[in-house]
Amino acid sequence: MTFDGVRPVLHLAFDDALGEAIRYGDLDRLVARMLASGVDGLVVLGLASEACTLTEPERDAALDRVSTAVAQRVPVVVRIEGPTTVAVDRGRRAAALGASGLMVLPPARVGSGELLRTHLWRLGDEVGLPILVQDSPAVTGVVAGWGGLGYIESARRGAIGVMPGCDLGPCMVVIDRALRAGDFAAAERLYRTALPLLSYEARSLDLLLLGAKRPLRRQGILGADGLRSPSRRLDQEEEASLDGLFAELDRAAVPGFTGLTA
């Protein structure tokens, strides 16, 4: 297995009622939408999945639901974090539930030397799945990725894939296909059209998630667009700014944003 192409990180929707149960029907619809857009794979239990808010049974249930919905049509990558013993346990469970690979967030305070290598080697030996080391800049301070921000430049430097949010997944598929075909001009045009939204959402993880869930709810994919408690909501100014950006993308017929305005 490789990690190339466009592999959106699946968002989870939660009931507004007390307990905030995962809305598994919404997850099914989101998987179907991403597959229909031609993605190369899917990622679950990542930062965009709000995995840090999930119990261990919920992690397994979400992955099981995704694996069933995907039905082996594309690879499913599972994000793993935690100290070595915890990560190995989560990795083994993920493999048993159909994961094709692991995206591993380095444990806090291990740096990039021998401790990290030992952690990754043990995961590889004991789980037996391909591993991608996560370099999320918001968490690790390493500058790369962040939902597709800078993907054109990264591709010129040799990057072969991107893991965006599901709002931008269909758009990034078109950009990626243009890059693969060598049409950097077409990729750049579409990227620059989406860049104002990417830049706006990249200011914080909460804004990235709330901004991604908002259009997906308006399109009927998700039935709720809040984050799991405790969390903040968009304020009126943020809602207005995002809706204005969505309208511009709709007018430009950017994949994934059509039909958002009357």
Please report where in the chains the tokens 């104002």 appear, as a residue. 196
| Contact (Cβ atoms closer than 8 angstroms) between residue 76 and residue 42 | yes
Task: State the pLDDT at residue 136.
Answer: 63
Q: In the predicted model, is pLDDT for residue 16 greater than 90?
A: no
Whether 140 is in a domain gets the answer: yes
Query: What's residue 139's pLDDT?
Result: 57
Averaged over 118-134, what is the pLDDT?
93
Q: What is the number of structural domains in the chain?
A: 1
Q: Which regions of the chain does DSSP assign to beta strands (E)?
A: 5-6, 42-44, 76-80, 101-104, 131-133, 161-162
As separate numbers, helices (DSSP H) first and strands (DSSP E) second, the chain gives 10, 6
Structure confidence at residue 19 (pLDDT): 80
The pLDDT value given to residue 93: 97
Kindly report the average pLDDT of the chain as a whole number: 92
> Is the pLDDT reported for residue 199 higher than 90?
yes
Phi then psi for residue 165, to 5 deg, are: -70, 165
Within-domain flag for 152: yes
pLDDT-derived band at 110, boundaries 50, 70, 90:
confident
Q: Which has more confidence, 202 or 55?
A: 55
- For residue 138, is pLDDT > 70? no
CATH number at residue 110: 3.20.20.70
- Three-state DSSP at 77 gives strand
Of 24-33, 197-206, 243-252, which gets the smallest average pLDDT? 197-206
Which pLDDT belongs to residue 113?
81
Residue 140 pLDDT class (50, 70, 90 cuts):
low
> Quick one: average pLDDT of 48-64?
95
pTM of the entire structure? 0.92
Q: State how far the Cα of 73 lies from the Cα of 148, in Å rounded to an integer.
A: 23
49 belongs to a structural domain: yes
Q: What residues form DSSP beta bridges with 79? A: 103
Q: Is 95:127 a contact under the CB 8 Å cutoff? A: yes
Q: What mean pLDDT is predicted for residues 49-53?
A: 94
User: 133: which strand partners?
Assistant: 104
Place of tokens 């579409």: 190
pLDDT tens profile 156-174: 888 899 999 999 999 999 9
Q: Are 145 and 162 in contact (CB under 8 A)?
A: yes
In-domain check, residue 183: yes
What's the pLDDT score for residue 18? Answer: 77
Q: Is 195 part of a structural domain of the chain?
A: yes
Domain extent at residue 203: 5-251
Tokens of 185: 């001009």
Residues 67-104: pLDDT tens digits? 999 999 999 999 999 999 999 999 999 999 999 999 99
State how beta strands 101-104 and 161-162 pair. Answer: unpaired
Instruction: Report yes or no on 176 lying in a domain.
Output: yes
Q: In the structure, what pLDDT confidence band is assigned to residue 142 with cuts at 50, 70 and 90?
A: low
Does residue 260 lie in a domain region? Answer: no
